[in-house]
Structure 1
Amino acid sequence: MAEKREVFILLTHTGTIPSKIIRFYTREPYSHVSISFDLGLNETYSFGRRFVNNPIIAGLIKEDISGGTYAKFKNTTYELYSLSISINQYDKLKREIQSLYKMKDKYGYNFLGLLGILMKRPISRRNAYFCSQFVATVLERSDIKIIKKPSGLVIPGDFRRAKGLRLVRKGILSKHNANIANIRYEEDMKISS
């Protein structure tokens, strides 16, 4: 059996006004999605606000679950999913995200793409993504196709229903690392809350 690696899909809802608007239109419990290379969520990427108090200035970010927006909104709810992939896919994914992140200042937020979701027509913009579009795109570019729709129409809730994802943990994000040692990182991970 080929050796596997794990990546993690983090779904969150902060309760900010933009997140409430997204949740209202999608009718999903989570309004944001990120991708992480570790269970402790120390290397987590997405498209979101660059400054805590300004949702308009947004782009490619490395998230800090104990700082920034998440520190301001301490009651952020989350679900964390693991995805088992091949070493080749893992390496491609890591290179893809690192390549984009080196040029993070060239990337903006695809606000128009959010309108495309409402119209059910993907709207792509050069060097711009919204969070779920970004995660779906980097997975697809790494030969990991878990959602059967164009990345410009993917919403955070699509990841909850994606094949191959296993729910690892859910609850309040600020408490995630407090009991991380209690998560058994084995074949049969148990759901912790």
Structure 2
Amino acid sequence: MHQISILLTKYSDWISTLVYHIGGRGFTHSSIALDEDQNTYYSFNFRGFAVETVEKHRRRGVKNSRCIQLQVSDEAYQKIKQRIQEMLENRSAYRYTRFGVFCCILHLPFRWKNHYFCSQFVAELLSESDAAPLEHMPYFYLPNQFASELSALPTCKNVLCNVI
């Protein structure tokens, strides 16, 4: 068994403010970490595929965060790790999609090859690896949904983590 961590944070840029108001007034960004390095998170932001650190979140002024840790099988862990490695090696091929966020908010299915928003990326990793049973397709997830849905899993451990 391995552990992965889902970090939920709240940013204050314009798209995050929109997600905040529409998505349940909580978290506006999600990222994922492997148990090998709990200080390195992977996600998508306006620049595309992103490698993030807790220090980066501090510098960006994150004041609200939550860390959800999940125990996953060795097979699920390896699938997630392999997918992240593929994305790291082909970083320039991946893009952020604001349009995907708007489709998610409107509950419209939208999938464009190699285009992701943060919570879609995390949901896709969880879904495709069978690390967590998700109720919806990955393109229908906003960060707040992880807080409630993943917390209900028996393999979940909520950890208080402030990135301040």
TM-score under structure 2 length normalisation: 0.89
User: 1:81–1:168: 8 Å Cα contact kept in structure 2?
Assistant: yes
Q: Which residue of 2 aligns with 1:170?
A: 161
Q: Which residue of 1 aligns with 2:13?
A: 16
- Quote the sequence identity (%): 26
Q: How many angstroms does 1:142 deviate by? A: 1.1
Instruction: Figure out how many residues of one structure are paired with residues of the other and give that number.
Output: 160
Q: Which structure is larger by alpha-carbon Rg, 1 or 2? A: 1
Q: Secondary structure at the match of 1:114?
A: helix
Superposed counterparts of 1:65-80, under 5 Å: 65-67=54-56, 70-80=57-67
Per-residue CA deviation, residues 101-142 of structure 1 (Å, 9 max, x unaligned), is 211111001211112122211211111000010001112121
User: 2:70–2:157: 8 Å Cα contact kept in structure 1?
Assistant: yes
Matched, 1:83 2:80: no
Mark the CA change 1:12 to 1:92 in structure 2 (over 3 Å): closer, same or farther. same
C-alpha separation in 1, matches of 2:55 and 2:141: 27
Matched, 1:46 2:38: no
Q: How many angstroms does 1:40 deviate by? A: 6.3
Structure 1, unpaired ranges of 5+: 50-57, 175-193
Per-residue CA deviation, residues 127-165 of structure 1 (Å, 9 max, x unaligned), is 100001000111212122332101110111111112323
Structure 2, unpaired ranges of 5+: none
User: 2:127–2:134: 8 Å Cα contact kept in structure 1?
Assistant: no
User: 1:8–1:82: 8 Å Cα contact kept in structure 2?
Assistant: yes
User: 1:59–1:107: 8 Å Cα contact kept in structure 2?
Assistant: yes
C-alpha separation in 1, matches of 2:101 and 2:159: 28
Q: Which residue of 1 aligns with 2:81?
A: 94
Q: Secondary structure at the match of 1:66?
A: helix
Partner AA of 1:33 in structure 2: S
TM-score under structure 1 length normalisation: 0.76
Superposed counterparts of 1:14-163, under 5 Å: 14-38=11-35, 41-49=38-46, 58-67=47-56, 70-161=57-148, 162=150, 163=152
Q: How many angstroms does 1:166 deviate by? A: 1.8
C-alpha separation in 1, matches of 2:102 and 2:21: 14
| Structure with more relative contact order (C-alpha pairs < 8 Å, separation 6 or more) | 2
